[in-house]
Amino acid sequence: MMVFKVLPTMTKAKCGVALSCLALLAGGQAAAQGLRLPGESGRGPALTAPFGAPASSPSSSSGSGATSSPGGTSSSRIQLGDAIVAIVNSDVITRRELDGRVQTALATLARQQIPAPDRNTLERQVLERMIVEKTQLQEAAQLGIRIDDMQLDRAINRIAEQNHVTVSQMRDQIEREGVPFSVYREDLRQELTLLRLRERAVDSQIQVSEPEIDAYLAEEHEAAPSEMTLAQILVRVPEGSSSDMVARLRRKAEALLEQLRNGADFARLAAASSDGEEALRGGDLGTRPADRWPSLFVEAVSQLSPGGISEIIQSGNGFHILKLVDRKSIGGPGSPAMPVQQTHARHILIRPTAVLSSEQARERLVNIRQRIVQGGANFADMARQYSNDASAPQGGDLGWLSPQETVPEFERAMDALKPGEVSEPIQSPFGWHLIQVIERRTQDVGRERQRQAARQALFQRKLDQLYEDWARELRDKAYVEIRLGDSPSENPS
């Protein structure tokens, strides 16, 4: 089965030309602070769309032509007689939406050869995932976060490019797998919306200091790097739970662990009983270098062999039972020499707006270029006066750029310039740019890359817990009324 994947993510590198997922796919604005922070999506929306099943969003069940709006259920998707199965604040989730998502979950479990739980259990598992999504989409709507058609088209073009196919070929393949392309588009729009929300609400709160990096590198210097594949069963503890509630949930976790000790299948039990977002993947958390897992998880499985099950561990999110699926070495420590050609560049960015069309933005840069090339105006002064980028106060200076550190459109134009030359206006996902190359050099970036990898690892450790806390808080403060079964229930744990 073929999968269309988007590019890996980075955040907040070189302002309006950084290869961040949001900036790259959704045209988001990144701050020009010279930081090379990571942005691996970790938990949260996964920007992949497998053939044969729509991405997990309510729009998947609505059929062709449906449109999704962050935070709301489009009236076009609620038909006469379509029962409401849950109320989430001022929104609803319908039986039609739930049934569609259950069918997607069944197909996903079948592809992964994970036995499905009984229908009632599966419905409640899927509905809880939909409720969590709904609370996040509502938050995105309140913050004014939306992905317009131009941003969505740009994302689709980039996904097709990443997979070495045309958009037309990509559309044909998706529809051959039984997914209307309109549904694929709206699923991707929702995933990008959720990712942009997460970056604003969670990623932006994470800081990794230079002393933290120094301490991390000192600690890891003698350790042989390895990567681990983990799965989990999570018994979530709602915020503000009483001591009696915590004790009851602890007993539930102990009963699940006992079943595992007696030979129960981990993936099947996770699908039926875990409160984690990955429950319907059999609890699969994926594979990553050991130093990018939370320290709590690493310690819990440190003495296990592949296939082993941890004791119960408690975090701010609840009680976890971990399975070490696999562990393997990925090479020794050190920072090998990595000589690369770097470019010192600056740019002027004009972003199209509601009152400034794309063509008008380009024309403005044409005029600015004429003033620089023919009239002797200073590039840095023009950047300070006209650029819409956060680098404007520095005269548009982006510092030293390594290969693949900027979006392809920008890098191709920059690489074609000689020092001192100014490009014609070029378009990127961020808008229109003028680029000037100041100088070039060959630099060993091995140590820099080592520090960048350390920053990414520390960022990922912090991200997992912060994201879980944020998502749980949104869910716990929402008004939720579930109408499955004979009687409604409010805010179930």
User: What pLDDT is attached to residue 79?
Assistant: 58
Token pair listed for 268:
């099947």
403 near 1, Cβ under 8 Å?
no
In terms of Cα–Cα distance, which of 59, 40, 54 is closest to 467?
Answer: 40
| C-alpha dihedral sign at 7, 13, 18, 23 | positive
Q: Is 327 helix (H, G, I), strand (E, B) or coil?
A: strand
In angstroms, the CA 297 to CA 292 distance is 10
pTM: 0.60
Residue 132's nearest CA partner among 320, 316, 277 is: 277
The pLDDT value given to residue 56: 37
pLDDT (0 to 100) of residue 2: 39
The pLDDT, as a whole number, for residue 425 is 95
In one letter, which amino acid is 118? D
- Specify whether domain 3-210 bears CATH 1.10.4030.10: yes
CA angle 211, 465, 130 (to 5 degrees): 150
Contacts of 171 (CB under 8 A, 6+ apart): 181
364-368 contact pairs (CB < 8 A, 24+): 364/432, 365/425, 365/432, 365/433, 365/434, 366/425, 368/434
Give the CATH fold of the 224-332 domain: Chitinase A; domain 3 (3.10.50)
Helix H or strand E encompassing 31: none
Domain 339-444 matching CATH 3.90.850.10: the answer reads: no
The domains spanning 224-332 and 339-444 adopt the same CATH topology: yes
What are the structural domain ranges in the chain?
3-210, 224-332, 339-444
pLDDT at 382: 96
Q: Which residues pair with 351 in a beta bridge?
A: none
Spatial separation of the C-alpha atoms in residues 183 and 358, rounded to whole Å: 28
Q: Kindly give the residue spans of alpha helices, DSSP state H, lying in 143-242.
A: 149-162, 167-176, 181-201, 210-220
Tokens 């955040």 sit on residue:
11
- Measured distance CA(182)–CA(345) in Å, rounded: 40
3-state class (DSSP) for residue 171 = helix
- Looking from the CA of 59 toward its CB, the CA atoms found within 13 Å total 25
User: Is 435:414 a contact under the CB 8 Å cutoff?
Assistant: yes
Residue by residue, pLDDT tens for the chain (493 residues) are 334 434 333 333 334 444 333 333 333 333 332 222 233 333 333 333 333 333 333 333 333 333 344 444 444 455 555 799 999 999 999 999 999 889 888 988 988 889 889 999 999 999 999 999 999 999 999 988 888 888 898 889 888 888 889 999 999 998 887 788 988 999 899 999 998 898 888 888 888 888 888 888 877 655 557 889 999 999 999 888 899 999 999 999 999 999 999 999 999 999 999 999 899 999 999 998 887 888 889 899 989 999 999 999 998 889 999 999 998 877 554 555 668 888 999 999 998 887 888 899 999 999 999 999 998 899 999 999 999 988 899 999 998 888 888 888 899 999 999 999 999 999 988 889 999 999 998 876 667 777 887 888 888 888 888 888 898 899 999 999 999 865 455 554 4
In this prediction, residue 104 carries a pLDDT of: 85
